[in-house]
Amino acid sequence: MKNPVKAVVFDLDGTLYLSGRPYPGAVDAVNQVAKRVPVYYLSNNTSKSPVFYENRLKVMGLPLAEDSIISALYLSLDEIHARKIKNVFFFANPEVYEWFAAQDPSLNLRPSVEETELVLVAYHNSFDYRELCELSFRVQRGIPFWVTHTDFVCPDERGPVPDIGSFMALLKTAYGVEPEMSFGKPNPAMLSGLLKLYRPDEILFVGDRLYTDFELAKRSGCRFVLPLCGESKMQDVEKLDVKPEFIVNNVSEIDFNAFLEGKK
């Protein structure tokens, strides 16, 4: 017997849905689990605010409580507060920018180059070249820069599209700079809130990406299931020295009751 799982955490893109369309059976499966234990959603995608995700998940019929959505945006904000930073050049989509500004109206998110204490890069997928130049004028001066996460690509139904890890490669090529800090998966800090409530082996994490989701599970010591409906294929798994203990085709195949009853 294993310790019964007391909370289940789901990745979103490539795990529960692709391009906003749920995989068959995924919504039902999550609802069944949520009748027994709390469920959480942990996505690295910071192209949208937590409020957008709340609405999207509600429309899809996924169960939602007040604290269900875990976002690197919250962790970034906590760290900005801990360091008492006020002038943050925030590179983000307008909706995320507005959300962030509303969280702490005392922050100056459009400081001049001279004023800028920190550059924070979220997954901005609507920027124009001038905005990229504004970002570059700051990082080339050696102003500290943080990223919400380091994924190279984001899944899309037409094929993976460049994410922050690719923006980082661009800035490294141009200026030789790298971010000082990243908050998203596989940083175990993403689970710090849950680890105050549960032991690591009482948390089951379900995610489709090996270098973020599986890596987070390994680093934090939580249980893990890999669904193959998203990014990772069996050939990718075969190349690993340490392989996920449980692999399924999609979320609807997971025997959650077995995990909840300590049989898996």
Binding site for Mg ion (CB under 5 A): 11, 13-14, 208-209
Nearer Cβ to Mg ion (111/227): 227
How far are the Cα atoms of 8, 9, 20, 60, 252 from residue 25, in angstroms, in the given order? 17, 17, 15, 12, 5
Nearest to 262 by CA among 14, 89, 5: 5
Residue 261 Cβ vs Mg ion, minimum distance, rounded to whole Å? 27
Residue 52 Cβ vs Mg ion, minimum distance, rounded to whole Å? 17
Query: Around Cβ 140, how many Cβ atoms within 10 Å?
Result: 14
* Angle (deg, nearest 10), helices 164-175 and 129-139: 60
Nearer Cβ to Mg ion (214/259): 214
Residue 225 Cβ vs Mg ion, minimum distance, rounded to whole Å? 13
Residue 60 Cβ vs Mg ion, minimum distance, rounded to whole Å? 16
User: Please, what sign has the CA dihedral across residues 11, 12, 18, 22?
Assistant: positive
Q: CA 175, CA 172: separation in Å to the nearest integer?
A: 5
Asked if 93 and 122 touch (Cβ cutoff 8 Å), the reply is yes
Residue 83 Cβ vs Mg ion, minimum distance, rounded to whole Å? 30
Strand partners for 121: 91, 147
Place of tokens 């899944």: 155
Residue 6 Cβ vs Mg ion, minimum distance, rounded to whole Å? 23
Task: For 111-150, give the DSSP string.
Answer: --TTT--EEEE---SS--HHHHHHHHHHHTTT--EEES--
Rg (CA), the chain: 19
Nearer Cβ to Mg ion (14/179): 14
Residue 191 Cβ vs Mg ion, minimum distance, rounded to whole Å? 16
Nearer Cβ to Mg ion (202/213): 213
Residue 154 Cβ vs Mg ion, minimum distance, rounded to whole Å? 9
Nearer Cβ to Mg ion (13/163): 13
Nearer Cβ to Mg ion (13/202): 13
Nearer Cβ to Mg ion (138/209): 209
Q: CA 33, CA 53: separation in Å to the nearest integer?
A: 20
Residue, CB closest to Mg ion: 14
Residue type, 47: S
Nearer Cβ to Mg ion (12/120): 12
